[in-house]
Amino acid sequence: MTGSLIVVDDPTDERLAPFFRNERGLASRSQRRDDAGAGLFLAEGDLVVERALDAGCEPVAVLADGTGPPPVVDRIVEHHDLDVFVGGERLRRAITGLGVIHPVVAVFRRPARPSADELVRTIDRLVVLEGVDNPANVGSIVRNAAALGWDGLLLDHTCADPLARRSLRVAMGTAFALPHARCADLPGTLRTAAADGVVLLALTPASDPTHDGAGDPVVDIGSLGLAPDQRRAVLVGAERDGLSAALLDMATYRVRIPMAAGVDSLNAAAASAVACFALR
């Protein structure tokens, strides 16, 4: 069986209800913390939808441009036995609330993901986030890590969701190519990783070790040489507060990106791009 295209012109049509859900309506906090896969996420744009399908995610509702549906719509109709709603620009603008109207948006079931322990046991190049609660920053970091050859992303429970609507939009769907896990005890998980030979590289804006609460020297990122086969994790903290003392204390190296006079640091997303390139 295959689906079909269904024309809609009323934004209050109850069949369109999945597209009006906010982040909590798509996935509760407990669902976002469920490694088995629970709740939903919203993908915007044909590229993000295509990448979600390539990753094996299951669509449950799709809305597309009625005047020229993108090719991914044919794929959904033919291979997923799912009806696709199509409508004009005014309808789709009312539903998405965005200035830029995407040719397709789709609601998917959230996929299962590895546990934190599984991720750190199997990944050689890991990006670790602590307290990065801005979805745009998380999306940018995901895109940086995937583009520069890192293998996985580990987040504490205060970080924004990589499958949040804005995160996915900024990351251009690269979240599906970068395995991620959430962690209730980030220091404990990283302590286990370090014992297993993973070098922990903690980003800090401080040039003086007394300024980041640690006693060992802070190393300029360009002078840190690691063997190519050395497993490593780069640790990125919140914009304002940086990494916690607990993570700085356990780091193998505290690493800084040298700044011009009068500038103390880059934002988390920009710092991650420099670090993922320099430390890969």
For the stretch 130-182, pLDDT in tens is 999 999 999 999 999 999 999 999 999 999 999 999 999 999 999 999 999 99
Q: Which residues of the chain have pLDDT under 70?
A: 1, 99, 207-216
CATH 3.30.9.10 fits 5-109, yes or no: no
Cα angle for residues 44, 149, 171 (degrees, 5° grid): 15
| The predicted structure's pLDDT at residue 270 | 96
| The predicted structure's pLDDT at residue 73 | 95
| The predicted structure's pLDDT at residue 3 | 82
CB atoms within 10 A of CB 47: 16
CB atoms within 10 A of CB 261: 4
CATH number for the domain whose boundaries are 116-278: 3.40.1280.10
Which pTM does this prediction carry? 0.92
DSSP character for 130?
S
| Ranges for all domains in the chain classified under CATH 3.40.1280.10 | 116-278
Tell me how far apart the alpha carbons of residues 238 and 143 are, in angstroms, rounded to a whole number: 18
Residues 6-16: b if buried by 16+ CB within 10 A, e if exposed: eebeeeeeeeb
Tell me how far apart the alpha carbons of residues 213 and 19 are, in angstroms, rounded to a whole number: 46
- Strands 59-65 and 104-109, bridge-based pairing: antiparallel
Q: Which residue has the tokens 């906010």?
A: 22
